[in-house]
Structure 1
Amino acid sequence: MNLPAKSSRISKLTRAGLSLIGLCLVAGLALTIAYLYSAQSNASGKRAIKGIGDSIAITFDEVDIPHIKAKSQADAYFALGYLHATERSWQMEINRRIASGRLSEILGNDTVKIDRFVRTLGIKRAAERQFDRYPIAAKRLLQAYADGVNAGNAQLGWALPIEYFLTGSKPGHWSPTDSVAWMLMMAYDLGGNWQKELQRLELSQYLTTKQIWEVVPTFEPSEPVSNMDFSKLYRELKVFNPSPGPAEGRPQNLPSTELSQWEQMGGKDGIGSNNWALSGNLSATGKPLLANDPHLGLSAPAIWYFAHLEAPGLNIIGGTLPGIPAVILGRTEKFAWSFTNTGPDVQDLYIEQIDPKNPGMYRGPDGPLPFKVHQEIIDIKGSPSLTFLVKETRHGPVISDSYAKARRTIDTDRFALALRWTALDIENQSIAGLLDMNRAADLDQFKQALRKNYAPMQNVVMADSEGNIAYQAAGVAPKRILHQGLYGVAPAPGWERQYDWNGYVPFDQLPASNNPEQGWIATANQRIIAANDPNPLTGDWELPTRYDRIVDLIKSKSMHSVADMKTMQGDTLSLAATPLLELFKSSQSSHPLSAKAMEIGRGFDGDMKLDSAGALIFNAWADQLTRNLFSRLGYLFSDNYGPRNYRMPLIIQVKNPHSPWCDDPKTEQVESCQDSSNKALDKALEYLSKEYGDDPKSWAWGNAHIAVSEHRPLSKVPLLGSLFNIRTPFPGDSFSINIGRLELAQSKNPYQTVQGPSLRAVYDLSDLENSLFIYQTGQSGWVQSKLYRNMNSLWANNEYLPLRMKSENKNRQLELSIK
């Protein structure tokens, strides 16, 4: 049968099309195979490299920790830079671009706001000024590291990590000042006090100072560090934007009340850490035990990369940060150390008054002063470049030109907000301090090196094989005197000299302790006061729940083992849940599932276990109750809910059964806290039944509390996010030792977590080769590698890997030789 000519042509076109698709598939498969073969995601063998003094041997053990053996410290840090580049090239490229405000060159308009703010802070410019003053020896090591990074990137060839192809970019040149800049970004991540100051300024538009203390209290609510009525001050100065925030999100019917009793309240929510040391008297081995788990954002790949560096005068193993040439947390053959964030107030906002006759001038203590001004240009992929001016005052950069929350709050025609921040000081040489710490031969030398740490200030808990345990707060913080001025709790008038900083607290006056009689040391971002200085380092400490639980567990036994340290790090009892349990269990709901749900809820004890249905019901109830009380603040609540968890204000308010905050302003009747609690349970059960089904016995905290290690910048991209992100059910909450801070502002899943124990480490000072570690992803930054996520399930289940300098098992070897 003969087909019509038209049908024949269609058939030929179809065959040709199918052939073309087939050829494309074959070509794509061939290219994929060639890429996977060429990608150096598991480097081994011998590499001829320029820029090293002698050959360097690198052995990877059974858990993929590289053991770098070099004949000079410069070569050791060169090799570390080389490994950071070959294992984590994309992560380093993103870090470099974040710190220099150059994300938009490869990511387009979505990151312009980030770039503009970082440029306004002047991170890279500050790093360049600081590096110029570094000691020559430190400069050489920073340069050696940078040379290693650039050599590692060059060795990758065409088969770069996939992210480069997806963004159409290539690795940029790494300089020593990029390392200094990334250190400044780490200090920024751990020092967000200025945002709490801005929050109090925003609230002052609608609340009295007493009401603000109810929403954002300081650590000692019964005795605030400042007695100033700053809300009244701002209104008298008329600093506010005439049209602040979205009209539909403005606060409604705010209560007016004074609380007779206050509880302790921390300042920065979420970011924090735990560490503790036990002396030999409390240890089954007779020698100290040291534990540490720093809480940082969960990323994929992780923020940490573990390595062992050995060279003359250097023998150290532990967690490094790609971008910085040092072991940040770890041990030598004789001692170990750990960090938590001290959380001092090292950032102050200043309200600068602009000269109405000359906008290039602002008001100083003795008359008008000129803004320092320079131009910045942001190149934007796919769009024209953005040119803008950055202004500085005598206090620091003006952030109100580049930060939306600040712009919407103040009248920018008449005022500006400037930021004073210790980390930007030209004297900051924190990486030089890290390098000295890495070279320390014993604990005394290590303590001496801590004097060079500038920012961020850290609680350093140490232990050595001779049996010593010690604590030192290390870093700079401005001197403050209780009840004088604003004490850094809210923005200060920049033209009044009384609010200027008057020097820093001397190192010898910072909190410290050596071999305390009680036999243990612990920090968890709780309030710390130096014995020789009654003035606290801040008015905004972290909640003491983790610290209190650590102390309880230390005191619960007379002797502790390494296994006990692991158990403590995995503890999930939330001491911020227990004060609310009575109200929770007395709540009643008209929801059809109420009886079944509360049969479970009434047995809940505050332990946030993975399989606990009670934990899920409680957290959903506490979330809804918090929204009931504080959502009347409108955008001032929604913008801060999540970063600020409002748990302590909630606990304080519900202690008064008739707190005005419990009353619903949208109804005529006056609700009590019990009424509000009942409504919260209604909403919680409605949400839970919709998300997790109609059988409360099948609900579990782990179904909702998912730890997400997010990839930069592909985490939110459909399909790609699921490839690059790492997700796992996780126990704990925002207040347990095994922490997992809730993302409460998220509408899709408010109970997921993107902040948790970024690593866990346990050091046995009777034999440091018995030390252990774990973190949440894997050593590799190559998404196609099995080492990209191989630690995730171990981390989620509180299991560990060995941290040995002398591993008998070799996984692979790499030699860098002179070219």
Structure 2
Amino acid sequence: MKYLGKLSGFARLMRPVFLILGIAVITCVAVVTVYLISAHTTSSGKRSIKSIGDSVTITFDEADIPHIKAKSQADALFALGYLHASERSWQMEINRRLASGRLSEILGSDTVKIDRFMRTLGIKRAAEQQFDRHSVGTKRLLQAYADGVNAGNAHLGWALPIEYFLTGSKPGHWSPTDSIAWMLMMDFDLGGNWSKELQRLELSQFLTTKQVWDVLPPYIQGEPVTNVDFSKMYRDLGVYPASVKGSSSQSHKLPANDLSANDLPGGKDGIGSNNWALSGKLTASGKPLLANDPHLGLSAPAIWYFAHLDAPGMNVIGGTLPGIPAIILGRTDQFAWSFTNTNPDVQDLYIERIDSQNPGMYQGPQGLMPFKVRQEIIDVKGEPSITFIVKETRHGPVISDAYARAKRSIDTDRFALALRWNALDVENHSMDGILEMNRSKDLNAFKQALRNIFAPMQNIVMADIDGNIAYQAAGVAPKRTLHQGLYGVAPALGWDKQYDWTGYVPYDQLPASNNPEQGWIATANQRIIAANDPNPLTADWDLPTRYNRIVELIQGKSMHDLDSMKAMQADTLSLGATPLLDLFKSTTSSHPLAAQALAVSKDFNGDMKIDSPGALIFNVWADQLTRNLFSRLGYLFTDQYGARSYRAALTEQVQNPNSPWCDDPKTPQVESCQDASNNAFDKALTYLSKEYGSNPQQWSWGNAHIAVSEHRPLGKVPVLGRFFNIQTPFPGDSFTVNVGRLELNNPNNPYQTLQAPSMRTIYDLSDLEKSLFIYPTGQSGWVQSKLYRNLNSLWAKNEYLPLQMKPASTKRQLELNSQ
């Protein structure tokens, strides 16, 4: 009884505490409830807005695609901006800050390195200069869109998306130049040749030019586009820092807080897309079919937002990029179009020689020249502002002051690395071309609009209801001559005029095709050369695995329909794996699980199916084999692995059973490629048994190959990431038509994918209302909305939704009225 009395007394003492806790819980629940009720996660009803010209009606179909009906193009784009802000406010805010180099204002010191690099490139400054060169009509439409964005953000009120509360921030003002800046960021994401040039410079510190070509082989084996011995040239000039002399490639790792090759947009293998068109001679309907799946980084929400714009002189539906006032990929009621990345070499690094007497000067072709300089200030949340100087040469911004990889690669007392990039040119007015594309009444007008596309250069495959299929490379690229100079493969000497750009390839000399006799057109970032110009647009095309497989699938049937187009987009046979299968299956191992692993892999043919144990075993083996061959490069390998797959180098080296790259330099004996393969298999089984258990029959590719649509930046926060990220098992690999590029540098899971089809579309030109689309997340950027992730399972299983201008039903309506 005494004990019970003590408990009773304790309870009396704790009553105030319980009361306070109860009140706190009730208050939290009340606040969350009020927030969820107040947050405008789905727009409907009527809104009165000062800055709109006339009333606009927006209906949302069953796929939640908004159909914007307006009386002018300016009002249509105002409404699109309003919807982008209503649905994707945080995504637009983080993108605006990324392009402007202003992330640190809300995210703190962790993003200073990114901000400094973006300020050095001068993305926002270039956008402001380019805006003045756009047509008056385009400027007005950009302003109308920006007004819509700002009106949409204002309408959100206090109940902003959760990210704003977590970062203590609010939506900033959107300007017309923010749209152009985001276009430039998309250009940068689709570029990246400069990163390969830098890698060749880094490798040349320790390797001969021939060995550099072993690691980064030319597109056609044994046929590099330049004959220059650049490795010797750099060493003879004394380009490298003194600390490198006598050291090895095992040292000089970057500090953990510096930018790596995987921290910046662009510069990664496999950033590209697939598209193909079939003429009526190959289709059951007798009319063309067109397919497209752009391979961009997965994000939550997705990069795309689908919409329909219907206004006088404009009737177009498809994928928009929040921040840009246009349909980027889509169709009208007469034709459809698709993009893949042509991936031309439009970025060159230049080694600039600094004057030893005056570091404010550098050597030009005719003598010394002053660096252009400007001061930048980065405001950092919770810390003092950072002031720094950006330098520019006649070629462009000096990146070696802002990027540790570049700084580590040269003697910065004597040299600087500057970037020449066409997208920064003041003549870049691609927004004119994009808006003209949206206004085009037919395919001929659309082709004319493509002449105003400056950057990024794209492979545009088109088809119309009259039965035409066509291809055009649109954009600008510097003129180069095969085997002359460095051909853009490695940093050039800034003081030598022979390496300067002498103009761009004329539009009429770019690759093009109209209604080819074979009845099909396909691109997948493979080598493309114009018939009237034998000089390739770059030396760094992607491996042609996806293109070759698409051609196989097209030629494998005499007649195609929507179902066969779907099957092609879902195809997971890896032509990047098949050349390695003989070596893989000839492996011998004494590992306890070897017999079982080889048994479940014996019928594996390179098809990266989600339930395949063979696909998992093969990919882990190929990863370990790659590390066996190239990890001797030390930081020069580890810094790039993930951004580069090294598959071309691996495949080429193991063709020679006694390749010196297969020998383990740490052992006294000389190993063959078979020995390296056996060792890789042992390592693979050790890893697999640790991660997935000791029964190989229960292993599957989907256990490891997880598609992660990552929220920026909260997806990297351990607890919040589970809430904001969207994950699903996914088939394919870095080389399949249904691509899923491996993140081989990720220590937690090297086999996850952050880059896959960012959307899929199929257009049936016999009836464009039968067109289909899907993408990885959902239309909404509000994490608490069911529309944030509702498309993910459909996308993962290659299922589709209708892309219709005249949907059978609508589920809600929004009216924007002028006050």
- TM-score bracket, normalised by the shorter chain, equals over 0.9
Distance in 1 between residues matched to 2:446 and 2:96, nearest whole Å = 29
Per the TM alignment, residue 8 of structure 1 is displaced from its structure 2 partner at its CA by: 9.3
What is the 5 A alignment of 1:738-757? 738-757=738-757
Distance in 2 between residues matched to 1:186 and 1:179, nearest whole Å = 11
**Letter matched to residue 240 of structure 2:** F
What is the 5 A alignment of 1:798-809? 798-809=798-809
Whether 1:89 and 2:102 are equivalent positions in the alignment is: no
What is the 5 A alignment of 1:536-555? 536-555=536-555
SS of the equivalent of 1:781 reads: coil
What RMSD over aligned residues (CA atoms) do the two structures have, in Å? 1.6
In structure 2, the residue matched to 1:71 is: 71
8 Å Cα contact 1:246/1:635 also seen in 2: no
SS of the equivalent of 1:243 reads: helix
**Letter matched to residue 355 of structure 1:** D
Distance in 1 between residues matched to 2:246 and 2:794, nearest whole Å = 45
Q: Which digits, 9 at most, give the CA deviation of each residue in 1:404-448, with x for residues without a partner?
A: 100111111110000000000000011111000000000000000
Per the TM alignment, residue 702 of structure 1 is displaced from its structure 2 partner at its CA by: 0.4
In structure 1, the residue matched to 2:290 is: 290
8 Å Cα contact 2:206/2:248 also seen in 1: no
In structure 2, the residue matched to 1:378 is: 378
SS of the equivalent of 1:658 reads: coil
In structure 2, the residue matched to 1:462 is: 462
Distance in 1 between residues matched to 2:428 and 2:59, nearest whole Å = 35
Distance in 2 between residues matched to 1:14 and 1:33, nearest whole Å = 28
Whether 1:147 and 2:136 are equivalent positions in the alignment is: no
State, as a whole percentage, how many aligned pairs show the same letter: 74
Q: TM-score, normalising length from structure 1?
A: 0.97
What is the 5 A alignment of 1:222-621? 222-244=222-244, 250=250, 269-621=269-621
Per the TM alignment, residue 250 of structure 1 is displaced from its structure 2 partner at its CA by: 1.8
In structure 2, the residue matched to 1:258 is: none
Distance in 2 between residues matched to 1:478 and 1:713, nearest whole Å = 36
- Structure 1 unaligned segments of length 5 or more: list them: 253-266
SS of the equivalent of 1:811 reads: strand
Q: Which digits, 9 at most, give the CA deviation of each residue in 1:540-593, with x for residues without a partner?
A: 111000000000000011100011000000000000100000000000111100
Q: Using a 3 Å threshold, how does the CA distance of structure 1 residues 136 and 655 change in structure 2: closer, same or farther?
A: same
Per the TM alignment, residue 3 of structure 1 is displaced from its structure 2 partner at its CA by: 11
SS of the equivalent of 2:753 reads: coil
Q: Which digits, 9 at most, give the CA deviation of each residue in 1:79-136, with x for residues without a partner?
A: 0000000000000000100000000000001100000000000000000000011110
8 Å Cα contact 2:285/2:561 also seen in 1: yes
Whether 1:637 and 2:634 are equivalent positions in the alignment is: no
Distance in 2 between residues matched to 1:762 and 1:658, nearest whole Å = 47
What is the 5 A alignment of 1:30-41? 30-41=30-41
What is the 5 A alignment of 1:55-204? 55-204=55-204
**Letter matched to residue 600 of structure 1:** V
Per the TM alignment, residue 4 of structure 1 is displaced from its structure 2 partner at its CA by: 14
In structure 1, the residue matched to 2:696 is: 696
**Letter matched to residue 569 of structure 1:** Q
Distance in 2 between residues matched to 1:807 and 1:11, nearest whole Å = 63
**Superposed structure 1 runs of 4+ greater than 4 Å apart:** 1-13, 244-249
8 Å Cα contact 2:349/2:417 also seen in 1: yes
SS of the equivalent of 2:747 reads: coil
Distance in 2 between residues matched to 1:226 and 1:111, nearest whole Å = 38
8 Å Cα contact 2:709/2:754 also seen in 1: yes
Distance in 2 between residues matched to 1:735 and 1:580, nearest whole Å = 13
8 Å Cα contact 1:245/1:409 also seen in 2: no
Distance in 2 between residues matched to 1:782 and 1:458, nearest whole Å = 32
Distance in 2 between residues matched to 1:794 and 1:814, nearest whole Å = 27
Q: TM-score, normalising length from structure 2?
A: 0.97
Distance in 1 between residues matched to 2:718 and 2:572, nearest whole Å = 33
Per the TM alignment, residue 222 of structure 1 is displaced from its structure 2 partner at its CA by: 1.7
SS of the equivalent of 2:125 reads: helix
8 Å Cα contact 1:239/1:410 also seen in 2: yes
Q: Which digits, 9 at most, give the CA deviation of each residue in 1:709-749, with x for residues without a partner?
A: 00000111021000000000000000000000000111111
Distance in 1 between residues matched to 2:246 and 2:120, nearest whole Å = 25
Per the TM alignment, residue 189 of structure 1 is displaced from its structure 2 partner at its CA by: 0.1
In structure 1, the residue matched to 2:712 is: 712
Distance in 1 between residues matched to 2:313 and 2:419, nearest whole Å = 40
Q: Using a 3 Å threshold, how does the CA distance of structure 1 residues 245 and 10 change in structure 2: closer, same or farther?
A: farther
8 Å Cα contact 1:758/1:776 also seen in 2: yes
Per the TM alignment, residue 242 of structure 1 is displaced from its structure 2 partner at its CA by: 2.0
8 Å Cα contact 1:759/1:774 also seen in 2: yes
**Letter matched to residue 413 of structure 2:** D
Q: Using a 3 Å threshold, how does the CA distance of structure 1 residues 720 and 268 change in structure 2: closer, same or farther?
A: closer
Distance in 2 between residues matched to 1:371 and 1:162, nearest whole Å = 44
Q: Which digits, 9 at most, give the CA deviation of each residue in 1:174-218, with x for residues without a partner?
A: 000000000000000001000000000000100000000000122
8 Å Cα contact 1:100/1:119 also seen in 2: yes
Per the TM alignment, residue 221 of structure 1 is displaced from its structure 2 partner at its CA by: 3.2
Distance in 1 between residues matched to 2:687 and 2:760, nearest whole Å = 34
Per the TM alignment, residue 33 of structure 1 is displaced from its structure 2 partner at its CA by: 0.6
Distance in 2 between residues matched to 1:246 and 1:573, nearest whole Å = 46
Q: Which digits, 9 at most, give the CA deviation of each residue in 1:24-50, with x for residues without a partner?
A: 100000001100000000110000011
Greater shift after overlay, 76-85 or 219-228? 219-228
Distance in 2 between residues matched to 1:120 and 1:467, nearest whole Å = 48
Distance in 2 between residues matched to 1:245 and 1:750, nearest whole Å = 33
8 Å Cα contact 2:274/2:293 also seen in 1: yes
Per the TM alignment, residue 2 of structure 1 is displaced from its structure 2 partner at its CA by: 9.6
Per the TM alignment, residue 342 of structure 1 is displaced from its structure 2 partner at its CA by: 0.1
8 Å Cα contact 1:245/1:635 also seen in 2: no
The size of the alignment, in residue pairs, is 805
Per the TM alignment, residue 247 of structure 1 is displaced from its structure 2 partner at its CA by: 6.8
In structure 2, the residue matched to 1:762 is: 762
Q: Which digits, 9 at most, give the CA deviation of each residue in 1:150-186, with x for residues without a partner?
A: 0000000000000000000000000000000000000
SS of the equivalent of 1:754 reads: strand
Whether 1:627 and 2:627 are equivalent positions in the alignment is: yes
Q: Which digits, 9 at most, give the CA deviation of each residue in 1:654-680, with x for residues without a partner?
A: 000000000000000000000000000
**Letter matched to residue 677 of structure 1:** S
Q: Which digits, 9 at most, give the CA deviation of each residue in 1:427-477, with x for residues without a partner?
A: 001111100000000000000000011110000000000000000000000
In structure 2, the residue matched to 1:671 is: 671
Q: Using a 3 Å threshold, how does the CA distance of structure 1 residues 351 and 508 change in structure 2: closer, same or farther?
A: same
**Letter matched to residue 492 of structure 1:** A
Q: Which digits, 9 at most, give the CA deviation of each residue in 1:221-277, with x for residues without a partner?
A: 32211000000000011111222599786289xxxxxxxxxxxxxx95120100000
8 Å Cα contact 1:706/1:730 also seen in 2: yes
**Letter matched to residue 580 of structure 2:** L
Per the TM alignment, residue 220 of structure 1 is displaced from its structure 2 partner at its CA by: 2.4
SS of the equivalent of 1:777 reads: coil
Per the TM alignment, residue 501 of structure 1 is displaced from its structure 2 partner at its CA by: 0.2
Whether 1:783 and 2:744 are equivalent positions in the alignment is: no
Q: Using a 3 Å threshold, how does the CA distance of structure 1 residues 304 and 245 change in structure 2: closer, same or farther?
A: farther
In structure 2, the residue matched to 1:261 is: none
Per the TM alignment, residue 601 of structure 1 is displaced from its structure 2 partner at its CA by: 1.5
Distance in 2 between residues matched to 1:462 and 1:762, nearest whole Å = 12
SS of the equivalent of 2:744 reads: coil
8 Å Cα contact 1:245/1:408 also seen in 2: no
SS of the equivalent of 1:336 reads: strand
- Structure 2 unaligned segments of length 5 or more: list them: 253-266
8 Å Cα contact 2:764/2:770 also seen in 1: yes
Q: Which digits, 9 at most, give the CA deviation of each residue in 1:609-661, with x for residues without a partner?
A: 00000000000100000000000000000011111100011011000000000
Distance in 1 between residues matched to 2:7 and 2:239, nearest whole Å = 77
8 Å Cα contact 1:203/1:212 also seen in 2: yes
Distance in 1 between residues matched to 2:499 and 2:268, nearest whole Å = 22
8 Å Cα contact 1:273/1:341 also seen in 2: yes
